[in-house]
Structure 1
Amino acid sequence: MIAAPAHGAPVPQGDYVPARRSGKLIVTAGMTPRIDGRLAYPGPVRSDAAVEQNHEAVVLACSNALRAARSLLQPGEELDAILSMTVYIAAEPGFTAHSRLADAASAFLRQELGDAGICSRAAVGVASLPGGAPVEIQLMAAVR
């Protein structure tokens, strides 16, 4: 699996910030599977491919979203809970395993945060994503 840098927010690909905070709430921008601003996995998700073939792309995108959220924490703070996750999937016609693919992101958050990583979620199929990415993930988190 390709590892993302461990610290700091991912580099925005346009005129936006990686995450925004208001009080104890953090909302991230949609994050794609990029390392140092470069797409590591091209899309779309193929309808005839095993869902597991796209897990690394999903985990990298989710890791980037989590890094963006964590970049806004002050010393001594931590994420209390991931409240919501939206997983956008650019897939070929006929792909129907959106929820199964999003399960890779859910498993990553549970691994990283334990029960605090269990969240509500939407898995949404779209025609395309920025830069030809196969997946884009947005998080909403609460700070403790």
Structure 2
Amino acid sequence: MQIDAKLAELGLTLPEAAAPVAAYLPAVEVGGLLHISGQLPFQDGQLMTGRVGEDRDLDYGAEAARRCAVMLLAQIRKALGGDFQRVERIVKLGVFVNSAADFTDQAKVANGASELMAAIFGDSGKHARSAVGVAVLPLGAVVEIDAIVALRDA
């Protein structure tokens, strides 16, 4: 699996992994699983903010989810010392969508991240998922996504 080549093919360059903004670790490896803390979406170095169904539309939310997935990939790369070959499978994504009370398309927003993981990792990128609407996210972010990744032995 040539992840770097796949990223290039999709026109993606991974940013530096984001440092934690509070008292937690960005990634923890235990029992063959890599748990990635929630990642926020950035576009051109700016945090993507707002509430889907209020001041942001579905397409903006889906793009934000895709950008969260890019940040998850950056965290995976950092945690594994650049060795994407250790990724066996994306097990689960937890997608939190800052959304209006009457917005019910959280799953469509989450597809922005899910489709990118499948495009990068193929069948190993297909995963279980939660897509939950929330009233507010840290720093006013429109989407936050965490992940569980199964690893091969080093």
TM range (shorter): 0.7 to 0.9
Tell me what 1:115 maps to. 123
Task: Work out whether residues 95 and 132 of structure 2, in 8 Å CA contact, stay in contact via their aligned partners in 1.
Answer: yes
Equivalent-residue separation in structure 1 for 2:134 and 2:127 (angstroms): 22
Equivalent-residue separation in structure 2 for 1:7 and 1:42 (angstroms): 19
Matched residue of 2:113: which SS?
Answer: helix
Q: What is the deviation of 1:46?
A: 2.3
49-58 or 4-13: bigger deviation = 4-13
Tell me what 1:65 maps to. 72
14-23 or 84-93: bigger deviation = 14-23
Q: What is the deviation of 1:70?
A: 2.5
43-52 or 85-94: bigger deviation = 43-52
Equivalent-residue separation in structure 2 for 1:34 and 1:103 (angstroms): 17
The letter for the 1-side match of 2:80 is: L
Matched residue of 2:115: which SS?
Answer: helix
Equivalent-residue separation in structure 2 for 1:129 and 1:82 (angstroms): 24
Does structure 1 residue 85 correspond to structure 2 residue 90?
A: no
Q: Which runs of 4+ in 1 moved over 2 A?
A: 46-50, 74-78
Equivalent-residue separation in structure 2 for 1:94 and 1:33 (angstroms): 23
Task: Work out whether residues 42 and 67 of structure 2, in 8 Å CA contact, stay in contact via their aligned partners in 1.
Answer: yes
Q: Cα RMSD (Å) of the superposition?
A: 2.4
Equivalent-residue separation in structure 2 for 1:135 and 1:94 (angstroms): 17
Q: Deviations over 1:46-85 (max 9, x none)?
A: 2585422322211111111122123221575421101111
The letter for the 1-side match of 2:21 is: Q
Percent of aligned pairs with the same residue? 30
Q: Deviations over 1:84-124 (max 9, x none)?
A: 11100110121000111111111010111111110000001
TM-score normalized with structure 1 length: 0.85
Task: Work out whether residues 6 and 67 of structure 1, in 8 Å CA contact, stay in contact via their aligned partners in 2.
Answer: yes
- Structure with the higher fraction of residues in helix conformation: 2
Tell me what 1:33 maps to. 41
TM-score normalized with structure 2 length: 0.80
